[in-house]
Structures are given as structure tokens and as C-alpha cells.
Structure 1
Amino acid sequence: MKVSIWSDIRCPFCYIGKRKFEAALDKFPYKEEVIVEWKSFELDPYIETKLNVDYIERFMEVKNIDKDTALGMFDRVTAMASEVGLNFNIEKAITANSLNAHRLLHFAKTKNKADATKEALLKAHLEDAKNIDAIDVLLQIAKEVGLDFDKVKTMFLSDALTYEVRQDELEARNLGISGVPFFVLDGKYGLSGAQPEEVFTEALENTWKKHEQEKLTILNTGEGSACDLDGNCD
């Protein structure tokens, strides 16, 4: 059973949702049968990376709120994060475009290291206040998770894997996904937001039951003529 998760590196609730989903999955009896697929979603594809722009000031401008309101929102999400073992440092975060981070994630998917890479990217932005658009930062992350440094560097010298990022986002639009995190279970059932662990648990259990019920039933009708994948027919 596959669980596809659309999220952005810049999204605090995506990191919180990841933790809550993982907690539910870890207790799920059939977790070894679940494939988790990370999908790209940019909350603002046009955002410019600006090292000299105060993160809080920009947040206030985008949301059209005052500083006290902004800090209150940061405090609430930071408290939510601490409940699942995360130490957010959002006030010092760097305003950065996340396309290159998503490109690295797609590279990692080809090497079966997507989850470790996703974790490292979220931590870099939301806890360590690193620039997730900086190639040197992304190369260091690639090295830490065991990706080939030279191959990743070569990838960044081109526009490789940008198409794959855009395809994920196109798929999200076709599914009507307008916010993240968004979880699609078994290609049929959607779950939006950083839900409580018990909600993820219930969703996994219910989807698994339906998944098992919909499996193809092989009828025992005796031996019949057929061809196999090697072209052998009898």
C-alpha cells in the first residue's frame, strides 16, 4: 500500500505532520507493507531567496498582520512542534526558494534515500535556519545522507529534475490539493494537514482493510492455457 505525501520544505506543519504520521506508521502492524512516497509542492514557487530580509518582517507583510500577531503564531507552531520532539527556530529562518531542495529530494528518490533527505531538508530550514536554496548547503546535506556528492553537484549545474518537481505539482492541482501537508493513501483516500496521530492511525487501518478487500481474487478453476512473460505458451 502506498502513501503519497505532498509537502514543502518551507512548511512547518509539514514537518509536524511528518512526525505524527511516522508515529502512527511505526505502530501500524503492517508498516512493512507501506511504501511512503514524498511529493513536491511549493507554497510559493516565485519567492526570491533573500538573506538580508528579516523572516518575521516578510511574514508580517505577506499575512498583513502586526508583529505581536506574527510572534504569537510562531509561538503556537513552535509549541506544537515541541510536542513531537522538534525544536523550531522559525524566527531566524532564511527566506528561501525551495525548488533546488525539491530537486535534491527527487534525486534522493532515485537512490532510495528520500525520507532521510526530506528529514534533513526540513531540519535545515526549520530548526537550523540554513539557506535551503544554497547549493553548498544542499551538497552538504546530500553528503550527510549518503548521496554521491559529485553526481548531485552535476545535477545542480543543469535544470535536471525540475520537470519532475513540476509534475508533482501538476498532479497535486489535478487532485485538487491546494495546501500541504496532504496525504493520499492507496491512491484513493486523502487526508489534509498535520492531523493528530490517532487520525493517521485510523486512516491507515481503514485504508488497509479496503486495500486487502480490493485485492484480486484468483479463482481456482483448474489448469488453463496461458502465456507467461517469457513468451512461453501452453
Structure 2
Amino acid sequence: MLVEIWSDIACPWCYVGRARFAAALAAFEHRDEVTVMWRSFELDPDAPAEREGSHAELIARKYGRTLEEVAAMDAALTATAAADGLTIRFAEMRSGNTFDGHRLIHLAAAHGKQDAMKERLFRAYFGEGALISDHATLQTLAVEVGLPADEVRELLLTERYGEEVRDDERTAQSAGISAVPCFVIDRKYGASGAQPPETLLEFLQHGWAQREPAPAPTA
């Protein structure tokens, strides 16, 4: 069974959603027969390499909230993430373009390390104040998870996997995916949002139950 997950590195609910999906998958009886593919989605494809201003200032300006309202929302989300074993430090976050990070995740998929790369980028962005548009930072993080340093350098110097990122985004658009995280089973069943692990487990069980039976063996 194939589970594709559209998400953005700079999306806190995608970070929470990854942790919750991992918990659901670990409890799923047929987990060894599930292939998980991370798909690219940019919440702001026109974002600069780095935005000026703090996270709170950027969110307040974008959504017309006061700094006090943003602080309250951030505190609630930080507590939610902590309950799932995640650390989010909004005050240290450096907002910027995620396109090259998505290209790196595609390279990691070719080496069987896609989930590890995705998790490392999430952790760096939300917990370590890393600027994930910075090529030196991406190089370091990729080597940490075991990607070949020379391939990472080549990717960052070229447009490699750029079309694959855009193809993921076009697929999301054609499927009507406008909010992330979005989980899709076998291109048939979808679930949006950072649902609780129990809900995501039910989603996996439903997808498995709806699979077409294997053809009967012929004599």
C-alpha cells in the first residue's frame, strides 16, 4: 500500500502530523507492506531566501493579529508539539524559501533516506533556528543523515529534482489539495490535517481493507 504525504518543511502542523503518522504506522498490523512517499508542497513558493523580522511579527502581519494573539497561538502549538515529543522554538525560527529543501528530500528518496531527511529538516527548522534555504546548512544536514556529500553539492549547484518538486505541486493542485499535511492512500483515499494517531491508524486500516484482492493463482 502506498501512502503519499504532501507537506511543507515550514509547516508546524506538518511536523506534528509526521510524528502522529509515525505513531499510527508503528501500530498498524501491515506496516511492513506500506511504502511512504513524501511529496512537495510550498505554502509560499514566492518566499525570499530569508524574510526579515521575527516569526511573531511575520505572522501578525500576514493574518492581521496582534503580537499577543500570536504569542498565545504559538504557546498552544508548542504545547501540542511537546505532547508528541517535538520541540518547537518559534522565537528562534528563521523563515525562508523551502524549494531547495524539497529538492533535497527527493535526492534522499533515491538513497532510501527520505523520511530521515524530512525529519532532520523539520527538527532543524523548528527546533534549531536553522535557515533551510541556506546551502551550507542543507549540505550539513544532508550529510548528517547519510547522503553522499558530492551528490548534495551537485544538487545545490544545479536544478536537479526541481521538476520533480513542481510535479508534486501540480499533482496536489489537480487533486484539490490546498491544505497540508495531506495523506493519500493509493491515490484513492485522502485525509487532511495533523489527525490524532488513532484516527490515522483507522485511515490506514480503511485503506488496507479497500485494497483490491490479489488475482487468484492460475493452474
Q: TM-score, normalised by structure 1?
A: 0.91
1:22 aligned residue? 22
1:218 aligned residue? 216
**Which AA in structure 2 matches 1:63?**
Y
Match of 1:164, SS state, is: helix
How big is the alpha-carbon RMSD for the aligned residues of Structure 1 and Structure 2? 1.1
CA distances 1:112-161 after superposition (whole Å, capped 9, x unpaired): 11000000000010111100000000000111000011111011111111
1:83 aligned residue? 83
Structure 1 residues 188 and 197, CA, compared in 2 at 3 Å: closer, same or farther?
A: same
Rounded Cα–Cα distance in structure 1 between residues aligned with 2:181 and 2:163: 21
CA distances 1:167-203 after superposition (whole Å, capped 9, x unpaired): 0000000110001000001221000000011101111
Match of 2:210, SS state, is: helix
- Runs (4 or more) in structure 1 with deviation over 6 Å come to none
Stretches of structure 2 that go unaligned for 5 or more consecutive residues are none
How many residue pairs are counted as aligned between the two chains? 219
Q: Write out aligned runs for 1:1-234 (5 A).
A: 1-50=1-50, 52-211=52-211, 214-218=212-216, 220=218, 222=219
Q: TM-score, normalised by structure 2?
A: 0.97
Alpha-carbon offset, residue 51 of structure 1:
5.8
Structure 1 residues 219 and 52, CA, compared in 2 at 3 Å: closer, same or farther?
A: closer
**Which AA in structure 2 matches 1:6?**
W
Larger Rg: 1
Alpha-carbon offset, residue 52 of structure 1:
4.1
Contact 1:74–1:91 (CA<8 Å) still a contact in 2?
no
Contact 2:50–2:133 (CA<8 Å) still a contact in 1?
no
**Which AA in structure 2 matches 1:95?**
S
> Aligned residues: percent identity?
38
Rounded Cα–Cα distance in structure 1 between residues aligned with 2:127 and 2:89: 5
Stretches of structure 1 that go unaligned for 5 or more consecutive residues are 223-234
